[in-house]
Each structure stands twice: as C-alpha cells, then as structure tokens.
Structure 1
Amino acid sequence: MAAHRTPLLALATAVAALAVTAAAPVRAAAPLPAVTPRAETPALHDDTAGGDADADDPAIWRDAADPDRSLVIATAKQGGLRVYDLDAREVQSLPAPAAPGPDDAPGRFNNVDLVHSARLSDLAVTSDRGSDRLRVYRIDRDRAGGPLTDVTDPKAPRIFSASQDEVNEQRTAYGLATWTDPRSGRSFAIVSRRERTRLAVLELTARADGTVGYTKVRTLDLPAGFRLPNGTSWTPCNEPGELPQIEGMVVDPATGTLYAGQEDIGIWRLRADLTGKPQLVDKVKEFGVPGTYDETTEECVAGADPGYGGTRLTADVEGLTLVTEKDGDGLLLASSQGDDTFAAYDREIDDDNEYEGGFRITPASATLDGSEECDGAAALNEPLGRRYPNGLLVVQDGHDAPGDPDRPSTNFKFVDLGKVTSAIDD
C-alpha cells in the first residue's frame, strides 16, 4: 500500500506545519529505539520492464522437525508468491494466475497467512485481489520442485464481486488473516475489501478431490465516518468514491480476537467471527483532521487539526502481527507506515491493549538497509534454529536501498525477534 500514501503524506505534512505555528512550544518525544536486520531478500521491482513484482506481505512457516529449514512465504503482488529460506535466499517462485480474458485483470496477490490444521494440513492462503478469490497452497518442505503446491478449488467463488466486470473495478479481496478454532478444529479466513470497509469471514473446507475451498459465513462493515467530540462528522480524505479500507489484520488464536488496521483510522479489536461490537484500540494521529481532495494534484489538503487523533500511529496503519507467549502475555505489533516506525501494544485484552513502546528498523550496514513505508509484517516467537533462536520478525521494506530511482525497489528484512522485544522492554 505504499502507493496509497501520497494524499496522506500531504495531509500529515500540513498537520505538522500547523503544529509548528502553535503558540505553545511542543516538547519533542524521546527517539524510539532502533533495531537492525540480520538479512534481506533479493530486491523485487515494480515496473513495466521487470514486471509487477512489488513486495507486500510475509508469513513464517516453522519446520518443527528441523527449525533451521523453516521458510518465509511472501506475496509479490502480480509477481505471485516467493518462498525464502532463513538466509533470505529464494527457494521457490510461483506466478499469479493469468487474466481470464484479454480485457480482464490478472491475478494480484495482496496478503498471505498460514493455516496449521489437522483437517487441512499446513497451508499458505493468499488474497488474490486480481480475481477476488482466495488461493490456497499446501506446504511440503521436501516436495521435489518446491515446498508449495496450488490446491485451490477450481470452483472457488468470488468473495465480494458479482461478476467479472465488478472484479475488473478492483474493489476486491485485499487484507487477510487466518484462524483455526482450537475447540472445533475449523479453519477460517477473514478478508477485507479494497476501498471499502467490509470484512468477510470464510470457512476453509477440504474437497473430495484434495483441493481446498471456502464458504462465506458472514460480513461486517466497519465505520466509514465518525462523530467527533466537537459535534462534527468526519470522514478521512480519500480519492472520490473510496472509503477508508482495512488491510493489515491478525487473529489471536488463544482468544479468537481479530485486530484489524483501518489504514486512515486506527486499529480495531473485534471477535474473529465478526460478531459483537468492534472497539477502536488506537487511532492514527490524523484522526479527525478535515481534508479536501484536490483533483489537480491528486492530494488531500488538510484543515486545522482539532486534536482528536492518537500519538503513536501515523497513517497508514499497515502490517499487524502478534508476538505470542505461552502464558498469554505477548505483544501486538503494528506498522506505522507514515513515519517508518512500529508500535507495540500489550496482547492482554484485560489491559485494553496498553501501549508498550515502539521501535524503528534501521540500516545494519551500507548494503543492508532498514525498513521504510512498511506494508506487511510477520513475527514468530519460537526458536528457529541457529540463525534465529529467539524467534523472527519479517517486515516489508517499501524502499530497498541502494536502488535505481527508475526502478522502484522493495524487499523483505529479517530481524532477530529477541532484539525487538529487548528494545521495547528497555
């Protein structure tokens, strides 16, 4: 979602300018601690010459028999899926599906998450924005030809669109989180809709022919507008016709709690079955700031900040991931894309997901840079062999450096999770 940042960047810049002119001096916050990556994947490029292979969202699969052979599975949008080993070397590349017709949208993978299920085995599930469907891949580390095999039900239905014409408008499957209910053993995917506030929960089911399909259970629309304390109504500024969409999502498997990042709003907490009342855990700094869309510049022009926003997240809110601990403790991590930082919240609902701190991912060397404008993130708080005995955090880097200014460059950074938790604790 780095391309979506332009209007909000103008909005954030204008808000910052207003803050500078305030009468009372503002005390600068202490700088956030920095952690450095240990490795990075090869660069992915998003251009017409090299194809649309823009890095977006990762997931971490642990090989229980040999953790050193664990994998990172990541989306490359129209470039399909990439699979990496723990040295960040590519071990498999799978293309996105071709367009069904000459005038139709091709496959475009947005987010990926994993399923660990006795019923379904280990699966990688992706949201295919190009076709408005899920695609499902079975994981077999020792399979000849690569660990992923496409097992998508060929009759899998569209999720939000009624026709191919609607699919081509690209208000389609976008964000994704998976969850297996420990009581029933049933597995689900929660999917968001691009440029809309709708969420859908789908049950994943095994078919007789060995493929995996899904059935829609219910949908829920998160708010698009809000009543502010001063009595006014507010909707975040976007291009005409666009509503504040959701992308980054994660489910806490212990409680069945879904955390959903509405990019221009903040982080919601709700039941993963989409029942009950959603609660806003934290808001972006720009929450409540009026904006007018300028057709000429294709940017939002900000009005005065009424002061109703949060203090930790700068729009867009992007990748959400959990650092889980067996005693129920742990952290919810969120990518604050607008200021290239990450925010950490207590996993405990009883503590109302209290803010615990933040951090940046900064360059380790002249050739191994940090993470900017991060889209997706995935954490696994389990030993991953000799490379990552304290667990692993993988984040997308929206501006891989050094790079060619004529070829936008993205990739994924691998970070020792122990460094992250230590930085937050300090």
Structure 2
Amino acid sequence: MATLLTPAILLLALAAPAAAGPPTTERAGLPAPALVTTDNETPVLYDDEAGGNASGDDPAIWVHPHDSARSIVVATAKEGGLRVYDLASRELQSLRADPAPRADGVDGRYNNVDIAYGLELGGETVDVAVVSDRYNDQLRFFVIDPAGARAETPLTEVTAPELEFLFSPDRTTVEEERTAYGVAVWQPGDGETYAVVTQEGDTRIATVRLTPGADGTVGYTDLRHLRMPGEFPLPDGSTWVPCEEPGAGPQLEGVAVDQRTGTLYAAQEDVGLWRLPLPLGSGEPVLLDRVEDFGIHDVYDPETEECEPRDPEAPGLGGGNLTADAEGVDIYYGPGRTGYVLVSSQGDDRFAVYATTGRNRSLGTFQVRGDGVDDVDGSDGLAVTNRPVGPYEDGLLVTHDEPETGPEVDDGRDATSFSYVDWGEVAGALRLRVDTTAGNDPRWR
C-alpha cells in the first residue's frame, strides 16, 4: 500500500513569486544562447513497424570504475526497448521491451533510465540500470556487466517477479497509461538505494526503496507518493491551471537527485523547474524557474489536440530560460556542494544551466550545433557526468535529439538519436568549471 503525502505544505512555497534566474532570451533583449558543437551521434532510430517502434527518449551514462574507455551509454527507445552504446556511439546491444515478469505482464514501454551503483546482488557487488516501464507501471532492472563496452551482453534483466504497480490500483487502470514516467536514483549513503518516479498525465511523484535479493533479482518496497501542485495563484488574484488534454494534469518527467544533499530537481513540463528535499514530504518544494508562458490561460482544441491561448497577446509570467516542455534534468558535480543543474528546454531547442548552491541562480543557456552531424533539436532526456570517459577528458553530456535529420535519414519516418557533447565545450561556452575529481560524485567515494 502506498503512502500518499499531504500536499498542504506545498502551498507555502507558492504564495510568493518563485526565485527564478534572469531570462536569457533574445526576445527579452538579453544574451542569445551560447553555441557548442558535437560530431558524435548514435545510429538513427525509427518509430515505425520496420524500425521496431523505437523512439529514443532518455539516456544514462555508466562510468567504468577502472577503465573509462569501457564506459557505456544506456538509452531508452520506448516500445523499441533499450539500446547500449559505446563512447564512439556505436550500438553494442539492443534489448526488446519484453513482457514484465508478472502474471498479467505485457510488452513494455521503456521511458526513462538511471544508474544505481554498488548494489549487493546475489553475493556480488553490481551496478544496475533502473528503467521506468509505462505499459506495466513499474520499474525494470538490468544488471551491468563489469566489462562494460567489452562485454558480449552489457545488460541482463534481473527484475523481480510480481512487483506492485507504482501509480495504479489494478491492471485495468494501468491500461489508462497514467503510469511510471521519469526516473532518478537516490543513494543517500546509508547503504540503501531509492528510485524517484514521476507519473505520466498527473502531478504525483513516487519513491521506492530498491531491494536486491539473494536470488539475483531486484525489486522494490516502501512505496510513497507526493502530489505536486497542478494549479497556481497569479498576481492578479486568479488561478492558473496549465492546459492539458482532458483528464490529464501537468505532469513531471525529468528528475535528478543531488546525491550529496538529497535534493531532488524535477521538471514539470508546462510549469518549470522544482527543487525539493528527500525524503518526500520532508520540506517545502520551491519553484526555481518558470517556463516562458507560465500564467497564460489556454483552451484545449479537441480537433487539433493542441492548447491555444485565449488572448494571443497575453504576456507570460515565466523567465526566458525554459520554453515548454521542460524535460530532461541531470547534475554535473563540482567540488563540495558546487556544480550545475542542466535542464533541456524542448520548446526552443536549448539547455538551461543553474547552480546547485544558494538560490540556484541561472548561469545561462546553450544550444548544440552539429559538426558533420545534425543539430540537436527537441531534446527530451539528457545525462551528464563529470568523470573522464574515453576521449571526453572533461566529462560528457549525452542528449536525446528529435527529429534526427541528415542526408542518410528517411525524412518520411519519425527519426530520433542521441548526441554526445564534450563537457569542455559547454564549460568553455558558458565559463563554467571543469572538475573531474572522482570524489565530487558521492557514488565514486
């Protein structure tokens, strides 16, 4: 049985305007985004029957503990399952989204992924990819071969059977697909590992404690829920409810946990970027930054399945860093508690950067241009590491790219891929710090 935490404390954080960083859009007369380049991207995925219904969404970077060249990137492809890539973006493994190990299990839809380091599983210490499965409303677990990129099969599923649904009371409700969406791993340093999961089409966040078993499988327990705000008071005394399709609430997707402080950063797609402490309910959420059209009253058009503003001239109350949807989130670790929170601003093909300390001030935005490959557009998920991995001596950013374009891409098909960006490029463009010390990330201590 899940514990549902009361949202009463949330209202306290919304009574006054949130502490957002300064806008950085040309429309506001402020600096344009910095430009960085990439020349490395994964093979194209096609979301059709011929392509195995593979639609790229979210990546995670697994760092090899001794030989960084063996590090791998694990990426979700929704109904197309998982893909594993090496540091040259070559595909090493393709895993089908097989039915979940449960009596009523169906083929999966893998949405987001993160890495849990150092689990004691079947008498061995292993690292595990944690994946959200929308069609089964649960998490799936894949042990990572310690050989990494040199392994014949880098990932092997170890999901325990008959795990409880994360947001649904029964299988019939699962079919409505208000199910597991974004995911992040939290390892607070007490020997326990948790996953934070968001819900598609609703404002709830869940946490569970991972339970590695002596039989070599991984499950979870201690399910708790927190309902985030779905409506917001405006300065004129009115209440703003973000426009969604009928029956849906303003969902969150991208989540990342600062392992040093237990701070969760969560992107609510049509609202903005939140900061809240873990465990859930232990403190007030703070809305750090708002999407540009925050506060604009829209009406849903069932014919176009789009939201249109009631007043096309109405100004938004948000900043200039994020244009809906706010999507992927991850953290680049610096010394002490310093570092950077990265958020993909899908609506304008940018990435926003915030400090991890103080009031999380805005540090600017950037876009990724292709050098021999296409530009990064419509980014959904992203992952970043401060650790040197292979040729990326300053760290690595991996981001989803949609649509994938280029002379070798079939324009008539829904194409996606993932692009690799040297962190040194980002740091140089925005005058950010490069620090590859292993101890910055607690998982490496």
Superposition RMSD on alpha carbons, in Å? 1.9
Return the match for 1:328 from 331, 337, 340: 337
Q: How many residues are treated as equivalent by the alignment?
A: 395
* Aligned equivalents of 1:292, 1:71: Cα separation in 2: 44
* Aligned equivalents of 2:304, 2:242: Cα separation in 1: 17
Partner of 2:77: 76
Query: Quick one: which amino acid aligns to residue 81 of structure 2?
Result: G
1:172 aligns with 2:176: no
Partner of 1:31: 32
* Aligned equivalents of 1:301, 1:325: Cα separation in 2: 42
Partner of 2:140: 135
**Does the 8 Å contact 2:166/2:223 carry over to 1?**
no
**Does the 8 Å contact 1:320/1:334 carry over to 2?**
yes
Q: Give matches, 1:226-237, under 5 Å.
A: 226-237=232-243
* Aligned equivalents of 2:30, 2:147: Cα separation in 1: 50
**Does the 8 Å contact 1:179/1:187 carry over to 2?**
yes
CA shift at 1:273, angstroms?
1.4
Q: Give matches, 1:243-322, under 5 Å.
A: 243-275=249-281, 276-304=283-311, 305-322=314-331
Task: Return closer, same or farther for 1:99/1:147 CA change in 2, 3 Å cut-off.
Answer: closer
**Does the 8 Å contact 2:116/2:185 carry over to 1?**
yes
For residues 211-268 of structure 1, give each alpha carbon's deviation from its aligned partner in whole angstroms, at most 9, with x where no partner exists. Answer: 1100134110000111111000110111111100010000000000000000000011
* Aligned equivalents of 1:337, 1:124: Cα separation in 2: 25
Query: Quick one: which amino acid aligns to residue 372 of structure 1?
Result: D
CA shift at 1:271, angstroms?
1.2
CA shift at 1:306, angstroms?
4.5
CA shift at 1:154, angstroms?
1.1
**Does the 8 Å contact 2:263/2:277 carry over to 1?**
yes
CA shift at 1:133, angstroms?
0.8
**Does the 8 Å contact 1:234/1:288 carry over to 2?**
yes
**Does the 8 Å contact 1:293/1:299 carry over to 2?**
yes
Query: Quick one: which amino acid aligns to residue 354 of structure 1?
Result: R
Query: Quick one: which amino acid aligns to residue 361 of structure 1?
Result: V
Return the match for 2:212 from 195, 201, 206: 206
Partner of 1:14: none
**Does the 8 Å contact 1:100/1:106 carry over to 2?**
no
Partner of 1:396: 400
Report runs of 4+ in structure 1 exceeding 6 Å deviation: none
Unaligned runs of 5+ in 1: 1-24
Unaligned runs of 5+ in 2: 1-25, 433-445
**Local SS of the residue matching 1:360:** strand
CA shift at 1:162, angstroms?
1.6
1:225 aligns with 2:231: yes
Q: Give matches, 1:11-160, under 5 Å.
A: 28-98=29-99, 106-120=107-121, 121-142=126-147, 145-160=152-167
For residues 126-146 of structure 1, give each alpha carbon's deviation from its aligned partner in whole angstroms, at most 9, with x where no partner exists. Answer: 000111010001111438641
Partner of 1:375: 380
Partner of 1:4: none
Deviation larger for 53-62 or 306-315: 306-315
* Aligned equivalents of 1:26, 1:359: Cα separation in 2: 16
Partner of 1:341: 350
For residues 247-294 of structure 1, give each alpha carbon's deviation from its aligned partner in whole angstroms, at most 9, with x where no partner exists. Answer: 000000000000000000001100131122111010000100000111
Partner of 1:415: 421
For residues 23-77 of structure 1, give each alpha carbon's deviation from its aligned partner in whole angstroms, at most 9, with x where no partner exists. Answer: xx96633321111113110000111332210000000011121101110011011
**Does the 8 Å contact 1:61/1:73 carry over to 2?**
yes
* Aligned equivalents of 1:99, 1:214: Cα separation in 2: 14
Return the match for 1:354 from 351, 358, 361: 361
Normalising by structure 1, we get a TM-score of 0.89
CA shift at 1:106, angstroms?
2.6
Aligned-residue sequence identity (percent) comes to: 47
**Does the 8 Å contact 2:98/2:106 carry over to 1?**
no
Return the match for 1:185 from 178, 187, 191: 191
* Aligned equivalents of 2:286, 2:279: Cα separation in 1: 15
For residues 96-129 of structure 1, give each alpha carbon's deviation from its aligned partner in whole angstroms, at most 9, with x where no partner exists. Answer: 123899x986310000000012535211000001
**Does the 8 Å contact 1:381/1:390 carry over to 2?**
yes
* Aligned equivalents of 1:414, 1:73: Cα separation in 2: 13
* Aligned equivalents of 1:399, 1:165: Cα separation in 2: 33
Task: Return closer, same or farther for 1:329/1:312 CA change in 2, 3 Å cut-off.
Answer: same
Return the match for 2:248 from 213, 236, 242: 242
**Does the 8 Å contact 2:39/2:370 carry over to 1?**
no
CA shift at 1:308, angstroms?
1.8
* Aligned equivalents of 2:92, 2:377: Cα separation in 1: 25
Query: Quick one: which amino acid aligns to residue 344 of structure 2?
Result: S
* Aligned equivalents of 2:360, 2:242: Cα separation in 1: 24
Normalising by structure 2, we get a TM-score of 0.85
Partner of 2:11: none
CA shift at 1:332, angstroms?
0.4
For residues 332-387 of structure 1, give each alpha carbon's deviation from its aligned partner in whole angstroms, at most 9, with x where no partner exists. Answer: 01000000000000011xx210001110001212xx112100000000001113x1
Query: Quick one: which amino acid aligns to residue 60 of structure 1?
Result: I
Query: Quick one: which amino acid aligns to residue 245 of structure 2?
Result: E
**Local SS of the residue matching 2:38:** coil
Query: Quick one: which amino acid aligns to residue 385 of structure 2?
Result: L
